[in-house]
Every structure is written in C-alpha cells, then in structure tokens.
Amino acid sequence: MSQLESHVTVQKRAYYSPPWADVSIIAVAGSSGSGKSTLSQTIVKKLNLPWVDSFYKTLTPAQSKLAFANEYDFDSPDAIDFDALINTLRDLKAGKRAEVPVYSFAKHARLEHTTSIYSPHVLVLEGIFALYDPRVRELCDMGIYCDADADTCLSRRIVRDVRERGRDVEGCIKQWFAFVKPNFEKFVEPQRKVADLIVPRGIENRVALDMMVQFIEKKLFEKSTHHREALARLEVRDRDEPLSDRVVVMSEGPQIKFMNTILQDIDTSAEDFIFYFDRLAALIIEQALNNVQFEEASIETPPGYTYNGLRPKGEVSAVIVLRGGSAFEPALRKTIPDCRTGRLLIQSSYSTGEPELHYLRLPEDIHKHESVLLLDTQMASGGAALMAVQVLVDHGVALDRIVLATYSAGKVGLHRLMTVFPEITAVVLAPSNDDVSMKVVMMTWVCMNCVKASVDIFTWHAASTLKDMKNHHFEVIPQACTQPVGGAAGTKPTSATAASPRGRSSKGRLPVRDD
C-alpha cells in the first residue's frame, strides 16, 4: 500500500463544496415584448448576477434565408436548443465552468466566440420558453412569468427589433401575426400555470421586483451560511495529529533562518525585505518543482558521453493566488522564464469572514498540463486554499498534479486542506502556530502625507513590472489611513538609500520582467 493510500485509510477523507455548487437558477418566461429582458437586466444590475438567454439552434443555409425574409419561426420550441441548455445548467449546478453560446439576431447565426460562466451563486435564465421544458423546471429554484397585454408586447417588440436587430416595421408586424401570436397562445401562455410568481407590468411593478430581489438575497445568505458552517466542520479535532506525508516542510538551515530573521525584523527596510523574500521564494519554488512529474531522459554531453537524467513530464504552469501570491512572480520568472501563469483573487468577506472568489483567469488548456504550481504567500484557516484547489479541480486539473507552494501555513489550515484533498502536495517553508498572526511580515513606516504619524502595519505585495516595484506597492491595513499609499499618500521613500536603515542602495536588485 502506498503512503498516500495508507494516509487516506487512517484519516477519513472529508468533502468540500464551494458556495457556487448547486447554483440557484431563476427562470423568467413570458411573451415576446412582455418585459422579460428588462426585468432580468434590472435584477442582474441590482445583484450583479450572470444572465443567460442565447440558446437558439444554429440555422441551416435554407433556414437562414427564411430568417432574413422574416419567414423563420423563432417563437417555436423547435428553434431552441434545449439539450445544450440542459447540459449547461447541469454543469453550472455541479459547480463546473460552462460555455454559453452567443447568438446574433442581426446575422441570424451563432457567433464563433462563447461566454464563459463559472462560479455564479445565482443565475438568471430568461426566454419565452424558460419554463417550457420540464427538465429545465426541475433545475430551477424559482419560476417567474412576465405578463403584459398584446398591444404593449407588439409595440415593445417593434421598437426593439428596429433599434437593436436591424429589422423593418413591416417585417416585424408580419412575423408577429404569422408566428409570435399563434405560438404565444399555444406554447408560451400555458407556462403561467407552472410559474411561482406572475409579474404584470414588468419593472413597473416595484412590489414584485422587490419580492424577487429579497428572494435572491435570501438564497445568497443561505449559501454563505452553509459554506461557513461547512468550513467550521472541517476543523480538526486533534491538533496534535501529525501532518500528511504529502506536506513537505523545508528544512530550516542557517541560511534560511538568517533570511527569515530579516523578514520578521520590524526594522527591515522595504528593499531588504524584497531582496531576501525573492531569495526565499526561489528556494520554495525549487522545492515545489522537486514534486512535479518527471520522466527519464538520456542526453549526449559535449565530450560525447551519455548522461541519464530527468526532464519535466509535460508542461508546468503556475496559478498565482492574488494578492499575496504575486510576491512569488519575480522568483518564478527567474526559475521558469517561459512559465504560463493564471491568476485568481480570493478575499474574505468583511461582514461574514467567508472566502469569496472575485477574479479568475486561467490558461485555457490548463487541464492538459502535467503539473500546476499553486502559489500563495500564506495560509491560515485554509479557506482560500480550499477554494483555490477546488477552482483548479473544476477546470479539469487532476489533484495529484497540483503542488501548493507557500511561505507560511498554519497547522489547522494544512489539516483542512489535506483532509479534503489528500492527493495534492503542499510545500511549506515556515509552518506557524495557529495562534500567531499569519501575516508574512509586519513593518512600521511613516505615513508622511496621510496623517503625519506612525502607521501600524503594512503588507507588501510584489508587482509584475519595474515601475510598480519602484512604487513598492504597500497595502495599508489600518482603516484610519484613507489616502492611497505609494501614490498620492507619498509613502514611497524619496530614494532607495533613504529607505534603508542600513544606508545602502538597492539599485540593480529589484527584479525586472522583460514582458
């Protein structure tokens, strides 16, 4: 039995469900021109939710010719690709990334590009047949039917089609009486019976709109509560339990201890902190690379001898957890100059403490990469790390190909992470006690143009360009300082020498990226 199998056997594996799993779907149906789109866009704008309405089938050349002549029936269920819609909704329900087609009514065709949707907590599905298919209704949490009189619907449709879709008034009226009105009576109006809420007058009905917003806000609150409770349940009962065999703790020799001493010293200058953290970051990345996939390789040396060595098995990429993970980027560029990188931003909510995914950008083919480094400077409770690994899993990355590299990590966070994802590898330079602050460094500086007084703590974030590095990019933690630091606040030292208590310039030591 392997070490991994034995570890999984001894410690029962736990499961983690991100807040976007089992997404709540709000379906908005109604006649063409009834105000569905306006109502949906109002909800989306109020709550910043994704909105889906582009699942028309791809037209054949003959059907496209009929469409340009206003003789194709877009108001029939046969015009909707329900299979693609169902598959997309199921992927989103499972917490996976989904590609939504984009349909152009001006060209009467699907466009080549798609819209990626990932990690929505609530999704608004809008269309005349949003509640038509029972398979869709099974996936929906709430069904809304927009109601309006026929004359109002016709006038709205004419205005919309002429203004947005390049139609003429005569063609709009022809299409209305030939297709829209008959199909409304046959297919659309029966959806009133299965709707949870019927909204007359569209967005003019403020009471109904407030009810929908309150329902969605309640769903969001419930998801947040369940997520925080799930994280709390992952608390390890026995904190003295040894760490997983997949956690690699770097040995602290005299050189590493010396550099750690400089980083923890409150009198360390910004230049010295950057320089020595870059050195440590390079060592951490090198150790992480020892845990990626390799394959045997035989090469010929210049004198003609054969050397049996190793080379990486496939592509190695890196995902940087913003903002702290950016500090690893200069060392990453020196270690793997051509490494492709992705980024994700996870921040804890100020009101609930729940980790939230705010930004995501990954290489499109990351699921094909042999190894993926996940870089972050610190890990306390492990909530952000759990979410980051789950994001990679949702995008097709195998767990045994993920290597988390971090400067500092608490024992509770490591236990949580390895209990849920025992197949990954974690490389840690400085394991920390859970009752100690997890900030990488605590520095005191003078906020010269803000309050002309001492500011308690700064957290350094490495930037990706020389210009940003020269501005030092500190983040002010205390709320009292309202001016932006490093810009208008003027916290940047006037010279590198003046910034260093040791009186030596850092010229030539700041990492530079060619790209």
Write the pLDDT tens digit of every residue in 28-86. Answer: 888 877 777 778 877 777 666 555 556 888 888 888 888 888 788 877 888 888 888 88
The residue that leads in pLDDT, 10 or 59, is 59
Strands 443-447 and 453-460: antiparallel
Q: Which long-range contacts (CB under 8 A, 24 or more apart) does 244-247 make?
A: 244/7, 244/11, 244/414, 244/418, 244/422, 244/426, 245/3, 245/4, 245/7, 246/4, 246/7, 246/418, 246/422, 246/423, 246/424, 246/425, 246/426, 247/414, 247/418, 247/425, 247/426, 247/428
pLDDT at 313: 87
pLDDT at 507: 35
Domain 248-294+312-435 has CATH 3.40.50.620: no
What's the mean pLDDT in 454-482? 33
**Average pLDDT estimate for 484-491:** 35
Does residue 480 or residue 425 have the better pLDDT? 425
Residues of the chain with CATH 3.40.50.300: 24-225
pLDDT at 121 over 70: yes
Q: Are the C-beta atoms of residues 352 and 386 closer than 8 Å to each other?
A: no
CATH architecture entry for 24-225? 3-Layer(aba) Sandwich (3.40)
224 contacts: CB under 8 Å, gap ≥ 6: 19, 349, 352, 354
Mean pLDDT of the chain: 75
- Dihedral angle sign, alpha carbons of residues 213, 20, 195, 202: positive
Query: Which position has the higher pLDDT, 49 or 204?
Result: 204
Give span(s): CATH 3.40.50.2020, the chain. 248-294+312-435
Q: What is the pLDDT of residues 366-388, one digit of tens each?
A: 999 999 999 999 888 788 888 89
Average pLDDT over residues 299-314: 90
Q: Which DSSP string do the residues of 85-112 spell out, in sequence order?
A: HHHHHHHHHTT--EEEEEEETTTTEEEE
For the cut 70, the answer to whether the pLDDT of residue 477 exceeds it is no
Q: How confident is the model over 248-276, as a mean pLDDT?
A: 90
For residue 69, the model assigns a pLDDT of 80
- pLDDT above 50 for 1: no
